[in-house]
Structure 1
Amino acid sequence: MSSKSHSIFRSNRCCLIITGASKGFGRILAKKFANQFSDQFTDDKESIIKFILIARNVNEIDSLANELRSIDSRINISKIITDLAETKAIDDISQEFERNQNNLSRPYDHYILIHNAGSIGKATELCKTVNVNDADKRNAYYRLNLYSVMEMTGIFLRHIETKPNVSHCHIINVSSLAAIQPMSGMLDYCVGKAAREAYFKQLSNELTANNDSKRTKTKYRLLNYAPGPLDTEMFRQLQQESTLQEQFREIIPLKPEDSADKLFQILHEDKFANAAHVDYYD
């Protein structure tokens, strides 16, 4: 099946924001979006796609930026080198959104925000072992995996509100089976993923209310996508350090490219309920 048949672009002018973009699933998604855009708008010189890449490693982001530019010269890139576990990261992102708004001669019609960044945390934690001495580490964990998602989405929504011509907006939360199923030893990971999905269900409810009152013309599509066990550093960490390491060693991980293809198919078919949890294996 050709890449064009799985297109999710609703406009030839799109702004795409990806957290955790420097490696793993985020990097694969960035390249897939670039190739998809280039294929779909091959001969359209008015087309442009803006990537806002958010990650901690400057060398990896620079190499990704070079790869994206080699795919299509119409690709415009902003890089935010920051740690989402720190509050300063949200200021960095807010400032970039402001620059993006002021430096644009013609507005984007389609925005895509992908919350991909995340961490496992301590993979041997039980409810009974939680104690106040770990409060600082736990706060840093939830700042990265939950609070930054909520705060960044708030900035993003306020940004969209200033853009009356935005027709479509996708917000994709890279989730996990852990959001809906307990996993021994992975307390913070399960709680964080479940809380993120609860947040997006709340957001969906608010956006529905706004649409019902005709206060926005933007069509919002929200998705909690569980990509399956991917062949990444995070999966290898679970095989080596988690309470469930024996079970994870028996699992054959998926290629990130295959899971990215499935995500594009889901978005293209556009049959999911807003804020639905959709797994690679569904």
Structure 2
Amino acid sequence: MDLKQKTYLLVTGASRGIGREFAQQLSQRIQSVGSLVVLMGRSQPLLEETKANILKESPDLSVRTFALELSTARAEDFGGIIFESLNHAKAYPRHFQRAVIIHNAGTVGDTSKRAREIGDTVYLQQYYHTNVFSAIALNCQFMRIFGDVPKLVVNLSTLAAIAPISSMAYYCTVKAAREMYFRVLATEESAPGTLVLNYAPGMIDTQMTVQVQREAHDPAVVAMFREQREAKTMLTPPQTTERFIQVLEAQRFKSGDHVDYKDHDAA
């Protein structure tokens, strides 16, 4: 896959962690002149930090930031963001050789509860809206607006999407739902033009894993996270991002595949 093309790149959860690293490293590889990078996240100040980091390396690149709350965002909000970014850049969808979207934003949920204790439907609705419904709605607008422009759709997945993990019933269920949605998307969009990847970045030293280590009800899970962090065997955002780019460049996966950081043959 040639990443050095005139690209529309949209990254959610780009204010910190993996999302920030994905935005920064991918921005260095796409064609600066004519490309457009769109950063979405909760914190406008942190998004501006990501933007500044990108422009430091790629001063000719056009970068737009949009802060919004995913727990209440609607399809119309996402469509408005995409159109506003295009209008600001005085561009139209067919201006780009490829449109790329990285569905990274997500939250881990309440790890202090066992699966049998989950029953608050108000919390569930908000949690699923943030982690599943918003990603589906955004993707719907992205697919509609960019039409027949070649597209790369990436879902930041996890081992928790395909294997149960104690203390993480919330996280496992939303990640499984998201991955299945993108697998169905890949099946339906099987003609050349849309490539879908579910990328599991491995165990990363981020605020999310710190939260799990602090709050999980299962002592074994807490110990696993603590031991990996203390032994410094957790991955860093730059490490998993570099592997992700290697996976893209090699493109040995089929559309819709689940590719883990540890799948060495994929890169």
TM-score, normalization by structure 2: 0.89
1:162-189, Cα deviation, whole Å (9 max, x unpaired): xx4x2x3111100110001100111010
Residue of structure 1 equivalent to 2:81: 96
Contact kept in structure 2, 1:80 and 1:92, CA below 8 Å: no
Query: How far did 1:249 drift?
Result: 1.1
Query: How far did 1:207 drift?
Result: 0.5
Quote the Cα distance in structure 2 between the aligned partners of 1:182 and 1:48: 44
Select 2:162's aligned residue among 180, 183, 186. Answer: 180
Quote the Cα distance in structure 2 between the aligned partners of 1:274 and 1:114: 15
Residue of structure 1 equivalent to 2:3: 9
Quote the Cα distance in structure 1 between the aligned partners of 2:241 and 2:158: 14
The correspondence of residues 244-259 of structure 1 with structure 2, limited to 5 A, is 244-251=221-228, 252-259=233-240
Residue of structure 2 equivalent to 1:194: 176
Change (3 A) 1:10 1:207: farther
The correspondence of residues 107-126 of structure 1 with structure 2, limited to 5 A, is 107-126=95-114
Secondary structure of 2:54's match? helix
Quote the Cα distance in structure 2 between the aligned partners of 1:62 and 1:94: 21
Query: How far did 1:48 drift?
Result: 2.4
The correspondence of residues 153-172 of structure 1 with structure 2, limited to 5 A, is 153-161=139-147, 164=148, 166=149, 168-172=150-154
Residue of structure 2 equivalent to 1:226: 200
The correspondence of residues 262-281 of structure 1 with structure 2, limited to 5 A, is 262-281=243-262
Residue of structure 2 equivalent to 1:63: 49
Query: How far did 1:74 drift?
Result: 2.1
Quote the Cα distance in structure 2 between the aligned partners of 1:25 and 1:81: 17
Quote the Cα distance in structure 1 between the aligned partners of 2:179 and 2:237: 22
Select 2:21's aligned residue among 28, 53, 58. Answer: 28
The correspondence of residues 205-216 of structure 1 with structure 2, limited to 5 A, is 205-208=187-190, 211=191
Please, which runs of 5 or more residues in structure 2 have no aligned partner? none
Contact kept in structure 2, 1:28 and 1:256, CA below 8 Å: yes
Secondary structure of 1:200's match? helix
Contact kept in structure 1, 2:212 and 2:222, CA below 8 Å: yes
Q: Does residue 130 of the first structure (1) align with residue 118 of the second (2)?
A: yes
Letter of the structure 1 residue corresponding to residue 208 of structure 2: M
Matched positions, count:
253
Query: How far did 1:93 drift?
Result: 2.0
TM-score, normalization by structure 1: 0.85
Query: RMSD over aligned Cα, in angstroms?
Result: 1.7
Secondary structure of 2:95's match? coil
Contact kept in structure 2, 1:142 and 1:192, CA below 8 Å: yes
Contact kept in structure 2, 1:80 and 1:93, CA below 8 Å: no
Contact kept in structure 2, 1:85 and 1:144, CA below 8 Å: yes
Letter of the structure 1 residue corresponding to residue 176 of structure 2: A
